[in-house]
Structures are given as structure tokens and as C-alpha cells.
């Protein structure tokens, strides 16, 4: 089981967290075209390599945050320091 | 000639003063404490332990340990027990598995089927045609299965689970593994040493060399005095991401098996080497054993393996001639594989060796002891991502490049004297401890709760171990004859060559086609021989062919260990003991154990409609909201407007996802200036909470709102029915309950039956006058009992989920997830007045804005023509006599109030007009007529009862 | 009448169990509990002096748990807890402080004795070793698949852990802890004792 480096709780089993998927910016709902909005809802880059993704530490600190993970090796980049926890909405 | 018991051996592990009695296929036998099932049977002269899977050949001892594929037996109701490993117990009932004569064929096809079993790929060829024979094939196949019998009436046994976080796990307690564990422990690491066998020591356990026995004694003593946690009869079954290890402990006193989930900072892999069988004609005849098996039988259990032996040896360690002579076995010949001598075949009956043909000459013998080489069980390294490489010089695989957190030692990494192996083990232990220290420092520094650590993270220790050398070993896999390769799957070298000829010459394809390496030994005995024969077929060497990928488990894991102790949390309301004492039939709704009904749901409905009923709705999701920005939050999350909700008022709202699909619904009440209570569906409570947190944390971090889940902080009781006001009035004194003083969709703080800190609101899921009381959970039972007592003369009675579902259906309230699905957009609910596109922004607004141009199905009330016919939920609504689907029934019940069947359903928009005629296709295939109603409510559409 | 009301514990089934002195499970659900929220590093946080992951005994007698960033759980006698809550008022717009009484929303158990870490590791995947979870540590994690707040709160040198979970799971978690502790000869102290009573039963 993957160890996810929660910026608050330290490394935790991935089962302790909820995976929020790729982090991506939410388009402005007032101006987004249907095409842009549906790309936001349904399209993912799914790269083999570094990916910025959202996690929710549901068993621990109960914070949503973004982390960078290499999808090919499951290596995480060091998590951001506390205070920089913004991720995309799931 | 059979095996027999020898006189006392200095290295034996049996206690001859304790005799154990057991049964083998119904006959009485005895052995000693410390015997395995197999050693006791062998000492009693038993030669045949099983029949092979396909050819049904008699099979005897091959390796006399955990991996022995020929020793799978049934013990009591426990199938697939490894008799080479399982310790004998008093009173054991042991039986052979896969015994041919008991397999009855009632099919004429049987004989021809048996013939077709003999070829490679039979699984794929035999059972394909004709299709109509499949049920028979299945019966035959299940009878053919090599497993024992599973008795489904067996009592459950306790399988335990435990987590642990050692600094270093050492897999394998041979001399190198023990040294690694001791060195790591001495360096300050927390060490878990895991040994597959019943005691530590590896091959030293059955060595008769004095120096090795002394060394073993000292190692054991040092280990006992150390802080190393030692698990014997336990297997590291898998290595997963970040050194997450599965360990099965088979000898725990309180459990049949214990599954240990270990998160190790470092893993040391030290499983030693496994002796490989040699492939030649008759190599599976009882009487052909490996050299390690001979030495184990003689030195551990005092079993004389035969009378007259031929020894084939290609290495010093495997030369069992001295041990055999010491045990009184006449060694007729030693055939030295290093000098080019070969075993060609064995001769004899199906049940026993009578002679050995070596270099074309027959030698009379009842025992052939083979030492053809070693297999490196690199499984744990492979699971860590390593791809071990084949070395022709040493004739075995070696680790290539495992990750930094995994180290190998012992025979797996090279050859050497005992001292050299121990030195390498100790160096490995020190390296593991040093690296574990770095990992521990990093984890501790990043974990809020941990003790603070000073200083920088220690440098990552470099691997400065002196590598072990590699000794020459001849490449001996197959002789000039054909024989068995996979004993558990009954796959021979001819089968593999045939598979290669048919085109399955890649090792992964040949494995699946022939099933070689897929049996109970998990490839430990047969993988290298499989690869070698394929290499021969392809005219290549083993390194070019490559091996199959070793995946978890290292050794087979019982389903009990995996499934044994499953945690299934359940939630109950504080009133549950009352329900149980009053004849409740419960229903599991999500994790909640809820009252479904108390015997007669229809009567509960009639009582609630005519008198007053109370229902425990504690699972209703409740989120306590505090802060000045709550109206902004509600405007964002709900589709309707919330800016003007006054204190004391309650409003209904619907939530959508970003895709416009209905996510949840419920009421939210304003209890104070900056204090609201949001309710969600019972099943949606957790999801909505996380969703709200996500919006607040990631998109609106500047808003001042705190959300607290208080679902179980309050016992929630809905009091419903025409007499509900009178009943509530008897337990609530501090609220004006008159229709003007406390109107529909209002909320009040209250003291209920003496309990302060309650709140209640007038809403009406059932469609009748009703009050929902929310009382601090620690007094929920008190209030419930007070209501029952106070309402006795009003006819108060409890009702359950079923009654509530009937009443809400009478009233036409849809349930999210029942009447909606993952595609139901908000306009389909018919509540378009609650979708305020004129609001500046809310979740789901873009899609809902665009949905006007889409043909969305609509939720409607439907009544079948025949009032007694209740179509099943999920029945399709079709066009006339065709199969064109126009919708489906989402809810249906017999209404006790209206005395007729009532439904909710989703239909095409054209049909969502009162009076439309539809056809419902019943599960029986019959079609019935039904009418779409003009209003969702079958009952009291004007809502007069509700607002009274 | 309110004075006569008895707190109904979520633990309603009793369990006879052995007595070893090595492990005790106590139901302390009746303990007064409050949940306080404020800025991670605002004036209220400074006042509480209990960063996430740690705990502190307030001079009032209340136990303050730094349960999450910007979140604290207060445990103890009613007036002690109330005093701490009152001390967090008056920061104006410089902080955003709310306090919710949670006594009825959370079950609370105390697992004490030298075998406590071994019992906990049967139901929870965290590392209970001293460096990772020292006395005073606060964390939350899944216990037998229910998310719990856990605080190490040793009593007079005896290892001791407070386990708080959603009240509705109370009986289930209590049963799971009994199951985990059985091999250590668990002693069970059944129902609804107050916080101070709990402290006295240990040691």
C-alpha cells in the first residue's frame, strides 16, 4: 500500500486518504463554454510521469491538498509546507 | 522398500518420549512430537502420499518440506494441508486428496476426456466444444481439482490481524538472516525476523558437521538474548509499495493464522536457496528425493529414507552420501554430475523405485538422492521491482538492482563459507539499520504527533558490503530423457516442448498454456527447469528466455488469513435497545442498523395516518453550521435561494454536482443569527460533509463557516399524524405549538421531556402534520419512552423505514438514489421552481443552464390500472407491444391508505403529463396498463393535512 | 427534572472479561466534550497553546487536544471546559472562533495498561512506538474501520490512550477493542463513567 505524505499528518497509508484525482483549475462558471466545462468535468491528462493530484486526508487531518506524484514510479515530491494546501475541487 | 525410523540422532527435533496418535485414510498410526505429518507417515513405512493431478500417478516424498508438491493432504476439514510442514498433533484425521478411485464418472464422455488430458494446453482444448456439455464439464473439472474437500458446515475459526512498523524486517532466519537481524538490532533498529520453518537456523538445522552445530547453538542463544522479535512458522507472503509487507503467522496461540501487515523501513531478503529437482524419465517415482530431503529426513526426524541408494550430486552441499551411510543406508553408487555423469531414468513399479539407470547402466536401488542445483527464490525482490539476472557460471539467478529499501543476503546473493555468509549477513544488517535510521528520522520529522527530532536527516548509508563470490555449478536441468517438471500441475518436459512447437515458446505464454509453475509450490521448484526446457526448444540460453514474473504470494495464503478478521462497522441509534425489545425487524441501510418495521408495516401506516406514529430517524444526516458566511455557502450548494431565510425558518433544498446531477436533498433550518442546521439524506451524510469541506477549503477558503457533523449527537424522532400536536404538547412545555405560533417549515429550540438543548421543526416527509424532534443523543431513549408513555391514550405507535417509505410514496416525495440515479439532472425531479438560474452562481448552474435544450426524463407518479398489481421496482415502461423503453418504475408499493398500488417512475418527457397512458413490462413478462398522474402526490395533493 | 436525567452511554451491552492488570478498557462516554475551531495560527490558537498533534492539561483541569490544524477537542468537567471556551472570546475579526458541544456526538473510551499498544495495533495501522506516539500525542486514524481521534494520555506512568469516535459507532468500536484485547486478558469497566472517574480507575 502506497504511503502518501500528508503535509499535516506525515506519511499515511493511502487507504487513510481519499484520492481526488488530477488537480485542475475550475473554469469560471459564468463564462465557460460547454466545451470548456465538459473538458473540466470529464477530461484527464493521465500522464505516465509527474502528475499534480488532489488528496483528502479523511482519516487524519481532514484537509484537502495537492501533491505531485510520478504515476510511473509512485514517487511523491516533497509535500508543500503547511499553508500552501490549495488543490483543485474534486 | 519403505522408509523406517532410525535410532536417536543428535540433531533430531522429535521428542521420542511423547507419542502422538493419528489416522491416515482411516487407519491408525503414531508418531512423535516434533514430527511433521509426512515424517510420521514416512517413519511408519508410508510411500505414497498423493496422486498426481492429471495422470494420477502415485507420488511420494520429494523435498520433505513446505514446498513438497506431493504432500498435499486433507486434515480434518482443512484441505490442502502441507504434510511436509504441518506438525503432527494428537488425534489428527489425515486423508489423501485427489484419490482417483473415488472419482466417479457418470458420463460416457469421460473416457475420451481422460485421453485428452494428456496434452499441453488441455484446459484450452478439451472443454471448448460442444457447448451444451458445459454443465458436465464443470462437474468433471471440479471433481478433478487437486484440492481437498471444503466442508461448508465447519465452524468459523478465529483468524487474527495485526499491524506493525519495524525498522527492519528480515525474511529468512538462516545464518545470514540471523546475523543480519542481530546486527541491525545491535545498531538500535527494531527488528522483526520471519522464518518460514518451525525453527531458525536454515540449512544448519540438518547439518551433521560439528562446527555448524556449534555455530547454530550460539546463534540461537544470541538471538534469544536479543531484542529481535522472531516469528517462526511464518511467511513474508508479499512485498508491496514502500515496503508494505504481508506476513502470515501460522503458529499464533489464539488464532488459526494471523495476518500481519508490516510497514518496514528496510527489508532484508534472506530466504536461502531451494534445491531443484532434476528432469529425467521416472523422476517422479516414489523413492526419488532431493539431497536436502534426505538430510532433513535423517537428521531432523530420524527417518531412514531407504535401504540402498544411488546418489547423484553436482555440488558439495548436496552430497548426502555421508549422511546416508551414517544412517545405515547402503550407498550403491555416487554419480558425480560435475564430471559429466548422468542419471538417465529410474526403473520399478508405479509405486517405488527398484533401479536407477545412470550413464546407461542399471543399478539396483530403492532410493535415488538428487543434488542437481539450486533455485534462488528471488520472489520478494521481484515484487520490489527487481529483475534478477541469470548467471551461467553459477547456474542460477542473482539479484540485479533492487530498490534502496530492499537488501539481499545469504545464498540468494552469492556463495561462501559459513563465516563469509554470516559476515555478509551482519554487514547487511548494519546497512539496513543505518538506512532505517534515515527513514525513521524523515518520518518522525514530518509527523505532527511524533516526538521532535533534532538535527538534519542522517545521510543515506552507502552499500559498502563486500560482495559474496559466485561458485561454479554445472547447468543441470534435464538429462537425455524426458520427465516431470511441475509435480503439482503434472506438466512434463515433453508438454513444454509440445507447447513451444505449437508456438507458445515465450515463457509467459508457455506458463499459462501448460500451467507449469502455477501450482502449490508457486514456481519455487519448477520455474528454472521450465525456463531451461524452453531455452532448449528455442536454442537459446536461460538468460535470453527470461523468467516469469514472480508475483505475490511468496507461498500460498489461505483464504481464511485474507478474509478472516474483516471489520464491518455498524451504527445504531441510542433508541436501538428499545426497538430490539419491541419486536423490530431491522434493515441495514448503509452502515446503519435501522428499524424496518415491527411486524406489520401497513398497520403502522394506518395508525400514523389516523392517530400518531413515531419513527426513529437518527441516521438523518445533520451538519451544524456556524459563521457569518453560511448564506453564501447555502446559495453555492443548493439550487434555490437562501439569502433571506429568517431565524426560526426551515427550507428545503436540492444539491447538484458540477454536472447538474442531483447529489442530495434535505432541509436546512436557521437556529440563530450565525447558526444553521443542515440535514442530508442518511446515506449522503458523509459524502456531503466531505464535499462541503472541499468547497470551503479549496474554492472558498476566505469564507467564515465551520461545519461539524452532528448526525449522532442528536437522536432524531419524527412524530407524525393528526394527533401529533397533542402528543408533542404533552412533552414540550416551552414552545407555543399552535398553528400560528409554530407553523409548517419552522424550527424552535425546546426542552423535550425535561431534556434541554433540543430543537424541533415542522416538516412532513410522510405528508401528515408532523414534528421532528432532535434531542441530545445521551437522552434519546428517555425522550422516546416518554413519547410512548405520554401518547398511550392517543394510540401512539412506532413505525419503521417501510412505513415511512410507503407514506412518502403516497405523498410522492422522491428519494435521491432511489428515484434518481447517476444521470438524473435536477429538472427531472419536477421541482423546477427550486432551480434558480437567476442566482449568480451555484454548483451545477452551468449544466442546468444548458439543460433546457435537452430531452430529460421526468419523475412522475404512476398508478397501474389494476389496483392490486404492484410492479417490481426497476420494471421497464415500454411502448405498447414493442420493447422500446420509455422509462422505468423507480418506487412501488401497495398503499394501505388508498388501498391500491402506487408508483413513482421516470418517463420520457412527452409522457410526463397527467393522464398519459403507459405500458409497464412486469418481471413475469406480462404487460399492464397504467396512468401517469397529474401530481407527484397520490395522497392529499393540496397538502392540507401537512399544514394544518 | 433535568438533574435527574441519566446520561445514556452508547455502550449498552456488557462484557464479562478476565483481569490481568495489563490492559483495561473503560467507557468514558459521559465525559463533557467540546469541539473548538479557530484559525490555525490565530489569537485563539495562541491562547490554547496546543498545536496539532499535541495535548495539554489546562490549569482549569480540562484536557485540550490539538486534534486537527485549527481544531481542538476539550475534555473534562463541565465548568473546566466552559472556562476554556470562555477564554476564547473577544478576538473580534482577528479570528473566527466557534465552539460546539460534542458530549452527545462522540463516544469515548480509555485503553490503558502495558499491553495497550499491542491491542491497538490489532485494530489500527498507526505506529504506537514511543518516538512516533509519545505521551501527549494526538492523532486520528481508522480503528477497526471507524475514524477515531486518539490521544495518548498516560496515567501515573501507565500507558493510556483515549479513543473517541462517532457515538453511533460506539458499541461497535467498544466491541472491536474488547476483541483486540482479549488475548491480553482485558479488564472491562463498563459504562458511562465521567472523565475524573476514569483517571481514578487507572493505575
What CATH code would you report for B159-273+379-446? Answer: 3.50.50.60
Distance from C87 to chain B by nearest Cα, in Å?
19
Q: Is A18 on the interface with C (CB under 8 A)?
A: no
DSSP one-letter code for B256:
S
CATH architecture of the region B4-100+277-371: Roll (3.10)
Contact B778 C30 (CB under 8 A): yes
pLDDT value, residue B318: 76
Contact A18 B694 (CB under 8 A): no
Residues of chain B with pLDDT under 70: 1, 98-147
Q: Give CA–CA dist B875/B860, Å, rounded.
A: 15
Number of domains in chain C: 2
Contact A16 C68 (CB under 8 A): no
Tell me the average pLDDT of chain A: 87
CA angle A19, A22, A27 (to 5 degrees): 125
Contacts of A86 in chain B (CB under 8 A): 698, 701
Contacts of B701 in chain A (CB under 8 A): 86
Strand partners, B621: B680
Enumerate domains of chain A plus CATH numbers. 3-70 (3.30.2270.10)
Q: Give CA–CA dist B350/C107, Å, rounded.
A: 68
- pTM for the full predicted model: 0.92
The neighbours of chain C, by the rule of 3 or more Cβ pairs under 8 Å, are A, B
CATH architecture of the region B475-563: Orthogonal Bundle (1.10)
For B:837-896, CB contacts with A below 8 A are 840-841, 845-847, 850
Domain membership of residue C169 (yes or no) is yes
Domain membership of residue C153 (yes or no) is yes
Q: Mark which of C44, C69, C101 sits at the end of a domain.
A: C101
Domain identity same for C65 and C77 = yes
Domain identity same for C148 and C112 = yes
Domain identity same for C115 and C180 = yes
Contact C139 A9 (CB under 8 A): yes
Give the CA diameter of chain A.
42
Contacts of B577 in chain C (CB under 8 A): 12
Pairing of strands B650-656, B876-878: unpaired
pLDDT value, residue B226: 98
Domain identity same for C112 and C181 = yes
Domain identity same for C22 and C78 = no
CB–CB of B313/B291 below 8 Å? yes
Q: Give CA–CA dist B277/B372, Å, rounded.
A: 7
The CATH code of the domain that includes C89 is 3.30.70
pLDDT value, residue B523: 86
Measured between CB atoms, which of A2, A40, A89 is closest to B698? Answer: A89
Distance from B846 to chain A by nearest Cα, in Å?
6
pLDDT tens digits along C112-129: 999 999 999 999 999 999
Nearest residue in chain C measured CA to CA from A8: C69
Tell me the average pLDDT of chain B: 92
Domain identity same for C155 and C90 = no
Contact C8 B776 (CB under 8 A): no
Contact A59 C69 (CB under 8 A): no
The neighbours of chain A, by the rule of 3 or more Cβ pairs under 8 Å, are B, C
Contact C69 A58 (CB under 8 A): no
Contact B690 A18 (CB under 8 A): yes
Domain membership of residue C165 (yes or no) is yes
Distance from A31 to chain C by nearest Cα, in Å?
33
Domain identity same for C63 and C158 = no
What is residue C98's three-state secondary structure? Answer: strand
CB–CB of B817/B799 below 8 Å? no
DSSP one-letter code for B699:
I
- Alpha carbon B407 to chain centroid distance? 28
Contacts of C125 in chain A (CB under 8 A): 13, 15-16
pLDDT value, residue B155: 78
Domain membership of residue C152 (yes or no) is yes
In terms of Cα–Cα distance, which of B409, B397, B405 is closest to B240? B405
Measured between CB atoms, which of C40, C69, C147 is closest to A59? Answer: C147
Domain identity same for C37 and C125 = no
In terms of Cα–Cα distance, which of B577, B615, B583 is closest to B599? B583
For B:606-645, CB contacts with C below 8 A are 618-619, 624, 626-627
For B:150-189, CB contacts with C below 8 A are 160-165
Contact C137 B450 (CB under 8 A): yes
Nearest residue in chain C measured CA to CA from B712: C105
What Cα–Cα distance (Å) separates residue C1 from each residue in B730, B753, B756, B903, C54? Answer: 15, 9, 10, 47, 39
Domain identity same for C139 and C183 = yes
* Orientation angle between helical segments B527-538 and B493-501, nearest 10 degrees: 40
Distance from C70 to chain A by nearest Cα, in Å?
10
Distance from C178 to chain B by nearest Cα, in Å?
13
Three cell numbers written together for B346? 529410474
Contact A82 C147 (CB under 8 A): no
Q: Mark which of C101, C125, C147 sits at the end of a domain.
A: C101
In this model, does residue C200 exceed pLDDT 50?
no
Nearest residue in chain C measured CA to CA from A15: C142
Q: Mark which of C48, C69, C101 sits at the end of a domain.
A: C101
ipTM associated with this complex: 0.94
B396 Cβ contact partners less than 8 Å away, ≥ 6 residues apart: B273, B373, B374, B375, B376, B390, B473, B528
Nearest residue in chain C measured CA to CA from B674: C98
Distance from A70 to chain C by nearest Cα, in Å?
25
Domain that residue C123 falls in = 16-30+104-201
pLDDT value, residue B404: 96
Domain membership of residue C6 (yes or no) is no
CB–CB of A37/A58 below 8 Å? no
Contact C140 A13 (CB under 8 A): no
CB–CB of B529/B478 below 8 Å? yes
Distance from A55 to chain B by nearest Cα, in Å?
10
C19 against C104, higher pLDDT: C104
Parse chain B into domains and list their residue ranges: 4-100+277-371, 159-273+379-446, 475-563, 576-808, 850-947
Contact C125 A58 (CB under 8 A): no
Domain identity same for C114 and C25 = yes
For B:188-227, CB contacts with C below 8 A are 190
pLDDT value, residue B51: 85
In terms of Cα–Cα distance, which of B753, B752, B813 is closest to B941? B813
Fold assignment, B576-808: Gyrase A; domain 2 (3.30.1360)
Three cell numbers written together for A87? 488543490
Distance from A55 to chain C by nearest Cα, in Å?
16
Contacts of B447 in chain A (CB under 8 A): 9-11
Contact A34 B693 (CB under 8 A): no
CB–CB of B580/C13 below 8 Å? no
What CATH code would you report for B850-947? Answer: 2.40.30.110
Q: Is B570 on the interface with C (CB under 8 A)?
A: yes
pLDDT tens digits along A19-73: 999 988 899 999 999 999 999 999 999 999 999 999 999 999 999 999 999 999 9
CA angle B72, B161, B554 (to 5 degrees): 40
Q: Give CA–CA dist C143/C125, Å, rounded.
A: 8
B533 Cβ contact partners less than 8 Å away, ≥ 6 residues apart: B279, B477, B478, B485, B493, B496, B497
Q: Is B589 on the interface with C (CB under 8 A)?
A: no
Nearest residue in chain A measured CA to CA from B441: A10
Domain identity same for C116 and C183 = yes
pLDDT value, residue B83: 97
Nearest residue in chain C measured CA to CA from B711: C105
What is residue C63's three-state secondary structure? Answer: strand
Distance from B241 to chain A by nearest Cα, in Å?
5
Contact C141 A59 (CB under 8 A): yes
pLDDT value, residue B254: 85
For B:230-269, CB contacts with A below 8 A are 240-242, 244, 263
Domain membership of residue C11 (yes or no) is no
Q: Give CA–CA dist B806/B891, Å, rounded.
A: 10
Measured between CB atoms, which of A15, A61, A83 is closest to C68? Answer: A61
The CATH code of the domain that includes C172 is 3.30.1360.120
DSSP of B894-932, one letter per residue?
EETTTTEEEEEEEE-GGG-STT-EEEEE-TTS-EEEEEE
Contacts of C127 in chain B (CB under 8 A): 165, 263
Domain identity same for C87 and C113 = no
Residue C199: pLDDT band with limits 50, 70, 90: very low
Q: Is B780 on the interface with C (CB under 8 A)?
A: yes
Amino acid at each position: 500500500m502506497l504511503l502518501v505524505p500528508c503535509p499535516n499528518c506525515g506519511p499515511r497509508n493511502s487507504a487513510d486518504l481519499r484520492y481526488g484525482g488530477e488537480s485542475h483549475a475550475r473554469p469560471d462558471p459564468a463564462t465557460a463554454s460547454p466545451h470548456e466545462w465538459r473538458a473540466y468535468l470529464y477530461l484527464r491528462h493521465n500522464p505516465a510521469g509527474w502528475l499534480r493530484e488532489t488528496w483528502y486526508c479523511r482519516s487524519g487531518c481532514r484537509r484537502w491538498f495537492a501533491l505531485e506524484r510520478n504515476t510511473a514510479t509512485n514517487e511523491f515530491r516533497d509535500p508543500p509546507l503547511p499553508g500552501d494546501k490549495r488543490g483543485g475541487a474534486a | 522398500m519403505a522408509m523406517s525410523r532410525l535410532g536417536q540422532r543428535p540433531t533430531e527435533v522429535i521428542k521420542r518420549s511423547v507419542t502422538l496418535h493419528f489416522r491416515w485414510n482411516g487407519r491408525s498410526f503414531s508418531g512423535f512430537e516434533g514430527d511433521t505429518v509426512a515424517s510420521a507417515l514416512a517413519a511408519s513405512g508410508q510411500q505414497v502420499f498423493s496422486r498426481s493431478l492429471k495422470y494420477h500417478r502415485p507420488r511420494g516424498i520429494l523435498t520433505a518440506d513446505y514446498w513438497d508438491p506431493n504432500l498435499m493432504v486433507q486434515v480434518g476439514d482443512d484441505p490442502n494441508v502441507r504434510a511436509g510442514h504441518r506438525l503432527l498433533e494428537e488425534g489428527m484425521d489425515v486423508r489423501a486428496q485427489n484419490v482417483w478411485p473415488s472419482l466417479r464418472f457418470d458420463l460416457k464422455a469421460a473416457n475420451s476426456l481422460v485421453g485428452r488430458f494428456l496434452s499441453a494446453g488441455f484446459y484450452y482444448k478439451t472443454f471448448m466444444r460442444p457447448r451444451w456439455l458445459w454443465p458436465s464439464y464443470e462437474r468433471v473439472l471440479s471433481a478433478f481439482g487437486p484440492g481437498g474437500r471444503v466442508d461448508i458446515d465447519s465452524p468459523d475459526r478465529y483468524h487474527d490481524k495485526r499491524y506493525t512498523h519495524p525498522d527492519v524486517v528480515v525474511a529468512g532466519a538462516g545464518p545470514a538472516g540471523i546475523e543480519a537481524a542481530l546486527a541491525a538490532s545491535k545498531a538500535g533498529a527494531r527488528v522483526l525476523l520471519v522464518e518460514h520453518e518451525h525453527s531458525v537456523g536454515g540449512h544448519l538445522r540438518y547439518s551433521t558437521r560439528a562446527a555448524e552445530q556449534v555455530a547454530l547453538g550460539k546463534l540461537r542463544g544470541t538471538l534469544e538474548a536479543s531484542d529481535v522479535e522472531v516469528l517462526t512458522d511464518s511467511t513474508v507472503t508479499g512485498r508491496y509499495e514502500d515496503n508494505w509487507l504481508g506476513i502470515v503467522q501460522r503458529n499464533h496461540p489464539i488464532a488459526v493464522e494471523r495476518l500481519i501487515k508490516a510497514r518496514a523501513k528496510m527489508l532484508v531478503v534472506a530466504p536461502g536457496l531451494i534445491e531443484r529437482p532434476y528432469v529425467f524419465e521416472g523422476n517422479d517415482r516414489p523413492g526419488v528425493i532431493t539431497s536436502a530431503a534426505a538430510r532433513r529426513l535423517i537428521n531432523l526426524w530420524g527417518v531412514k529414507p531407504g535401504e540402498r541408494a544411488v546418489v547423484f550430486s553436482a555440488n558439495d552441499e548436496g552430497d548426502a552420501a555421508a549422511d546416508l551411510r551414517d544412517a545405515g543406508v547402503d550407498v550403491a553408487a555416487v554419480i558425480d554430475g560435475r564430471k559429466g555423469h548422468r542419471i538417465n531414468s529410474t526403473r520399478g513399479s508405479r509405486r517405488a523405485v527398484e533401479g536407477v539407470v545412470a550413464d546407461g547402466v542399471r543399478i539396483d536401488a530403492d532410493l535415488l538422492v538428487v543434488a542437481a542445483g539450486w533455485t534462488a527464490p528471488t520472489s520478494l525482490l521481484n515484487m520490489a521491482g527487481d529483475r534478477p539476472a541469470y548467471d551461467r557460471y553459477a547456474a542460477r539467478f542473482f539479484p540485479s538492482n533492487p530498490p534502496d529499501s530492499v537488501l539481499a543476503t545469504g545464498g540468494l546473493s552469492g556463495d561462501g563459507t559459513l563465516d563469509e555468509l554470516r559476515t555478509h549477513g551482519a554487514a547487511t544488517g548494519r546497512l539496513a539499520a543505518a538506512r532505517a535510521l534515515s527513514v525513521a528520522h524523515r518520518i518522525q520529522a514530518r509527523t505532527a504527533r511524533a516526538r521532535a527530532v533534532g538535527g538534519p536527516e542522517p545521510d543515506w548509508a552507502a552499500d559498502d558490503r563486500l560482495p559474496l563470490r559466485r561458485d561454479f555449478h554445472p547447468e543441470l536441468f534435464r538429462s537425455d530423457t524426458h520427465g516431470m517438471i511441475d509435480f503439482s500441475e503434472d506438466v512434463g518436459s515433453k508438454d513444454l516442448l509440445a507447447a513451444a512447437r505449437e508456438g507458445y515458446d515465450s515463457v509467459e505464454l508457455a506458463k499459462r498454456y501448460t500451467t507449469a509453475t502455477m501450482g502449490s509450490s508457486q514456481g519455487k521448484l519448477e520455474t528454472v527447469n521450465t525456463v531451461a526446457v524452453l531455452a532448449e526448444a528455442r536454442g537459446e540460453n536461460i538468460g535470453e528466455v527470461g523468467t516469469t514474473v514472480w508475483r505475490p504470494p511468496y507461498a500460498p495464503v489461505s483464504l481464511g488469513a485474507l478474509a478472516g478478521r474483516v471489520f464491518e462497522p455498524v451504527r445504531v441509534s441510542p433508541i436501538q435497545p428499545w426497538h430490539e425489545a419491541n419486536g423490530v425487524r431491522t434493515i441495514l441501510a448503509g452502515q446503519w442498523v435501522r428499524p424496518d418495521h415491527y411486524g406489520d408495516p401497513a398497520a403502522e401506516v394506518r395508525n400514523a395516518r389516523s392517530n400518531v406514529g413515531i419513527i426513529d430517524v437518527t441516521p438523518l444526516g445533520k451538519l451544524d453550521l456556524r459563521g457569518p458566511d453560511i448564506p453564501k455557502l447555502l446559495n453555492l450548494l443548493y439550487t434555490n435561494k437562501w439569502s433571506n431565510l429568517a431565524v426560526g425558518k426551515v427550507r428545503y433544498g436540492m444539491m447538484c454536482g458540477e454536472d447538474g446531477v442531483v447529489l442530495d436533498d434535505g432541509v436546512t433550518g436557521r437556529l440563530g443569527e450565525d447558526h444553521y442546521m443542515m440535514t442530508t439524506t442518511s446515506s449522503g451524510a458523509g459524502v456531503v460533509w466531505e464535499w462541503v469541506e472541499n468547497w470551503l477549503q479549496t474554492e472558498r477558503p476566505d469564507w467564515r463557516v465551520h461545519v461539524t457533523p452532528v448526525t449522532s449527537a442528536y437522536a432524531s424522532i419524527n412524530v407524525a399524524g393528526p394527533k401529533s400536536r397533542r402528543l408533542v404538547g404533552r412533552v414540550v412545555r416551552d414552545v407555543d405549538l399552535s398553528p400560528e405560533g409554530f407553523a409548517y417549515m419552522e424550527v424552535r429550540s425546546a426542552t423535550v421531556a425535561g431534556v434541554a438543548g433540543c430543537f424541533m421543526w415542522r416538516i412532513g416527509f410522510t405528508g401528515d402534520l408532523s414534528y421532528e424532534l432532535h434531542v441530545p443523543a445521551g437522552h434519546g431513549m428517555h425522550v422516546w419512552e416518554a413519547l410512548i408513555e405520554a401518547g398511550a391514550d392517543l394510540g401512539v405507535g412506532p413505525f419503521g423505514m417501510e412505513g415511512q417509505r410507503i407514506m412518502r410514496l403516497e405523498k410522492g416525495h422522491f428519494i435521491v438514489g432511489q428515484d434518481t440515479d447517476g444521470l438524473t439532472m435536477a429538472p427531472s425531479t419536477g421541482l423546477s421552481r427550486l432551480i434558480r438560474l437567476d442566482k449568480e452562481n451555484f454548483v451545477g448552474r452551468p449544466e442546468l443552464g444548458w439543460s433546457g435544450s435537452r430531452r430529460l426524463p421526468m419523475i412522475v407518479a404512476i398508478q397501474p390500472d389494476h389496483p392490486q398489481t404492484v410492479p417490481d421496482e426497476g420494471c421497464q415502461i415500454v411502448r405498447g407491444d414493442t420493447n422500446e423503453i420509455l422509462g422505468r418504475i423507480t418506487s412501488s408499493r401497495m398503499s394501505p391508505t388508498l388501498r391500491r398500488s402506487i408508483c413513482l417512475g421516470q418517463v420520457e418527457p412527452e409522457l410526463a403529463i397527467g393522464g398519459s397512458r403507459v405500458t409497464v413490462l412486469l418481471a413475469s413478462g406480462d404487460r399492464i396498463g397504467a396512468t401517469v398522474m397529474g401530481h407527484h402526490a397520490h395522497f392529499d395533493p393540496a397538502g392540507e393535512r401537512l399544514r394544518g | 427534572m433535568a438533574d435527574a436525567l441519566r446520561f445514556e452511554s452508547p455502550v449498552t451491552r456488557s462484557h464479562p472479561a478476565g483481569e490481568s492488570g495489563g490492559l483495561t478498557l473503560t467507557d468514558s462516554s459521559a465525559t463533557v466534550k467540546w469541539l473548538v475551531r479557530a484559525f490555525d495560527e490565530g489569537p485563539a490558537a495562541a491562547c490554547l497553546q496546543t498545536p496539532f498533534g499535541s495535548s495539554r492539561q489546562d490549569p482549569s483541569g480540562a484536557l485540550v487536544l490539538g486534534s486537527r490544524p485549527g481544531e481542538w477537542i476539550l475534555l473534562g468537567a463541565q465548568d473546566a471546559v466552559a472556562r476554556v471556551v470562555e477564554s476564547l472570546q473577544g478576538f473580534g475579526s482577528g479570528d473566527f472562533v466557534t465552539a460546539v458541544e460534542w458530549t452527545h456526538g462522540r463516544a469515548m473510551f480509555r485503553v490503558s495498561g502495558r499491553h495497550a499498544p499491542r491491542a491497538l495495533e490489532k485494530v489500527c495501522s498507526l505506529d504506537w512506538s514511543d518516538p512516533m506516539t509519545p505521551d501527549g500525542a494526538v492523532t486520528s486514524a481508522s480503528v477497526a474501520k471507524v475514524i477515531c481521534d486518539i490521544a495518548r494520555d498516560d496515567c501515573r506512568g501507565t500507558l493510556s490512550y483515549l479513543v473517541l469516535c462517532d457515538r453511533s459507532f460506539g458499541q461497535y468500536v467498544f466491541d472491536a477493542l474488547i476483541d483486540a484485547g482479549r488475548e491480553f486478558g482485558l479488564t472491562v469497566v463498563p459504562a458511562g463513567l465521567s472523565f475524573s472517574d476514569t483517571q481514578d480507575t487507572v493505575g
